[in-house]
Amino acid sequence: MVDQATADEQYLAKADFQVLLDLLAGEGYEVIGPTLGEGAIVYGPLRSVADLPRGWTDEQEAGHYRLVRRNDEAWFGFVVGPQSWKQYLFPPRTRLLTAKCEHGTWKMQPAEEPVPKYAFLGVRACELAALDVQDRVFMHSAFPDPHYVQRRQQALVIAVNCTQAAPTCFCTSMATGPRCRQGFDLALTELAEGFVLEIGSPRGRELAARLPLAPASEQQCRDAADARAQAEQQITRHLATAGLRELLLSNLNHPHWDEVAARCLSCANCTMVCPTCFCSSVEEVSDLLGEQIARERVWDSCFNPQFSYVHGGLVRHNIRSRYRQWLTHKLATWHDQFGTSGCVGCGRCISWCPVGIDLTQEVAGFRAAADRALFDRRPGAGEHAASVSGQGRGPSGLSASRPFLQQPRGEAGRPLPDEAPELGQSDAPGSESPRSTEGR
Ligand code: SF4
Ligand code: SF4
Mutate which of 344, 357, 361, 362 for ligand 2 pocket (most atoms within 8 A of beta carbon): 344
Residue nearest to atom 3 of ligand 1 (CA): 353
Top mean pLDDT of 73-77, 114-118, 414-418, 420-424 is at 73-77
Asked whether the predicted pLDDT for residue 78 surpasses 90, the reply is: yes
Q: What average pLDDT does range 240-259 have in this prediction?
A: 96
393 confidence band (pLDDT: 50, 70, 90): very low
Amino acid, single-letter form, for residue 341: S
Residue nearest to atom 2 of ligand 1 (CA): 353
pLDDT at 383: 53
pLDDT at 435: 36
pLDDT at 316: 95
At 182-201, the pLDDT tens digits run 999 999 999 999 999 999 99
Asked whether the predicted pLDDT for residue 132 surpasses 50, the reply is: yes
Asked whether the predicted pLDDT for residue 74 surpasses 50, the reply is: yes
pLDDT at 163: 98
Asked whether the predicted pLDDT for residue 411 surpasses 90, the reply is: no
Specify the length of the chain in residues.
440
At 133-148, the pLDDT tens digits run 999 999 999 999 999 9
386 confidence band (pLDDT: 50, 70, 90): very low
Residue 67 alpha carbon to ligand 2 centre in Å: 21
pLDDT at 84: 98
Residue 271 alpha carbon to ligand 1 centre in Å: 8
Q: 378 or 184, which is more confident?
A: 184
- The response to whether residue 266 sits with its C-beta less than 6 Å from ligand 1 reads yes
C-beta of residue 370 within 8 angstroms of C-beta of residue 377:
no
At 212-221, the pLDDT tens digits run 999 999 999 9
At 253-277, the pLDDT tens digits run 999 999 999 999 999 999 999 999 9
373 confidence band (pLDDT: 50, 70, 90): confident
pLDDT at 236: 98
Residue 107 alpha carbon to ligand 2 centre in Å: 42
Q: 396 or 302, which is more confident?
A: 302
382 confidence band (pLDDT: 50, 70, 90): low
Asked whether the predicted pLDDT for residue 417 surpasses 90, the reply is: no
pLDDT at 391: 37
Q: What average pLDDT does range 157-176 have in this prediction?
A: 98
Residue 424 alpha carbon to ligand 2 centre in Å: 32
Mutate which of 257, 263, 269, 320 for ligand 1 pocket (most atoms within 8 A of beta carbon): 269
Asked whether the predicted pLDDT for residue 245 surpasses 70, the reply is: yes
395 confidence band (pLDDT: 50, 70, 90): very low
Residue nearest to atom 1 of ligand 2 (CA): 343
pLDDT at 371: 85
C-beta of residue 343 within 8 angstroms of C-beta of residue 352:
no
Residue 331 alpha carbon to ligand 1 centre in Å: 16
Residue 369 alpha carbon to ligand 2 centre in Å: 23
Lowest mean pLDDT among 111-120, 125-134, 202-211: 111-120
pLDDT at 381: 66
At 284-304, the pLDDT tens digits run 999 999 899 999 999 999 999
- The response to whether residue 269 sits with its C-beta less than 6 Å from ligand 1 reads yes
Global pTM reads 0.86
Average pLDDT of every residue of the chain: 87
- The response to whether residue 353 sits with its C-beta less than 6 Å from ligand 1 reads yes
At 18-45, the pLDDT tens digits run 999 999 999 999 999 999 999 999 999 9
Asked whether the predicted pLDDT for residue 327 surpasses 50, the reply is: yes
